Amino acid sequence: MADASQTSAPDADARIDVSPARLMWRRFRKHRVAMGSMVLLFGFAIIAIGAEFFATTDPHLPEAHRSLMPPQSIRLFDGSTFRPHVLAVRGHRDPQTLQRVYEVDPDRRIPVRLFGHGYEYRLLGLIRTDRHLIGVTREHKGEPAIFLLGTDVQGRDLWSRLMLATRVSMSIGLVGVALSLLIGIVLGGFAGYLGGWVDMTVQRMIEILRSIPTIPLWMGLAAAMPRDWSILRVYLAITIILSLIGWTELARVVRGRFLVLREEDFVKAARLIGARRKRIIFRHMLPSFYSHIIAATTVAIPTMIISETALSFLGLGLRPPAVSWGVLLQQAQNVQSVALSPWLMIPAIPVIIAVMAFNFVGDGLRDAADPYGQ
Peptide bond connecting 287 to the previous residue in cis, omega within 30 degrees of 0: no
* Minimum separation from the CB atom of position 252 to other proteins (A): 18
* Residue among 86, 83, 102 nearest 94 (CA): 102
Output 20 or 315, the one with its CB closest to other proteins: 20
* Minimum separation from the CB atom of position 371 to other proteins (A): 8
* Minimum separation from the CB atom of position 24 to other proteins (A): 11
Q: What is the dihedral of CA 302, 307, 310, 311, to 10 degrees?
A: -150
Q: Could you tell me if 261 and 269 are in contact, meaning their C-beta atoms sit under 8 angstroms apart?
A: no
Output 288 or 337, the one with its CB closest to other proteins: 288
* Minimum separation from the CB atom of position 360 to other proteins (A): 21
Distance CA 314, CA 213 (A): 16
Binding site for other proteins (CB under 8 A): 1-20, 23, 30, 264-266, 268-276, 279, 284, 287-288, 371-372
Output 58 or 199, the one with its CB closest to other proteins: 199
DSSP secondary structure, 136-200, as one string: B-GGGTTS----TT-B-TT--BHHHHHHHHHHHHHHHHHHHHHHHHHHHHHHHHHHHHH-HHHHH
Distance CA 197, CA 374 (A): 34
Bridge partners for 113 per DSSP:
135
* Minimum separation from the CB atom of position 112 to other proteins (A): 46
Distance CA 50, CA 127 (A): 11
Output 20 or 36, the one with its CB closest to other proteins: 20
Angle at 346 between CA 159 and CA 83, to 5 degrees: 45
Position 187, amino acid: L
Report the largest interatomic distance among the alpha carbons of the chain, rounded to a whole angstrom: 88
Output 98 or 273, the one with its CB closest to other proteins: 273
Output 21 or 104, the one with its CB closest to other proteins: 21
* Minimum separation from the CB atom of position 35 to other proteins (A): 15
Q: Are strands 134-135 and 113-114 parallel, antiparallel or unpaired?
A: antiparallel
Output 354 or 369, the one with its CB closest to other proteins: 369
* Minimum separation from the CB atom of position 299 to other proteins (A): 23
